[in-house]
Amino acid sequence: MVPTVGNIVPRYQVGCTKADTSKRYLEGWHKKQSSTDDVRKSKSGYFTAFGVDLSPDNMAVAIVYFVQGVLGLARLAVSFYLKDDLHLDPAETAVISGFSSLPWLIKPIYGFISDSIPLYGYRRRSYLILSGFLGTLSWSLMATVVNSKYGAGFSILLGSLSVAFSDVVSMS
């Protein structure tokens, strides 16, 4: 017999045995896990993953930040390209890197442009697509045509402009 104080019964004996409690807990945990890990349709009609609607807008934001992460890795390759292939000294490389940060300083202007001048009836989507093409052009030029420090600087500046503009447009 389990000792009781007044009419209080220990928790593990109320309603079921200890084995039943752990089984119910485990089943509830599995239901909770499967609902957060599975890709399902939400009430809004879009698929969800990890509790986030996979709407076109959310996917655009995810793609923009994925590209920014990849370009962060590409900076190392660009620095080796400037140093080894174009034979630039550290001062010239720093100047090119400094110019490539200029588009990030005027980000509010991109927001004003995209909000006030719609392209093809869209305020953000058309600019996002345009900046994607601009970034593709800049990296394609860098891979094929560029063979001088001025061409490399222009191409890097164009790519930085593309990523900065898409960053502003995706967050608006």
Q: How many residues does the chain have?
A: 172
Query: What pLDDT, on a 0 to 100 scale, did the predictor assign at position 37?
Result: 47
Which own/partner pairs from 58-66 qualify as long-range (CB within 8 Å, at least 24 positions apart)? 60/125, 60/128, 60/170, 61/170, 61/171, 64/128, 64/166, 64/167, 64/170, 65/170
Beta bridge partners of 153: none
pLDDT tens readout for residues 48-59: 777 777 787 778
pLDDT, position 29: 58
Q: What residue type is assigned to position 172 of the chain?
A: S
Tokens linked to 21: 């409690």
Element (H, E) at 111: helix 107-116
Least confident of 39-43, 54-58, 109-113: 39-43
* 10, pLDDT greater than 60: no
Domain residue extents for the chain:
11-38, 55-171
CB 135 within 8 A of CB 68: no
Contacts of 165 (CB under 8 A, 6+ apart): 103, 110, 127, 131, 134
Mean pLDDT over the full length of the chain: 79
Pairing of strands 40-41, 52-53: unpaired
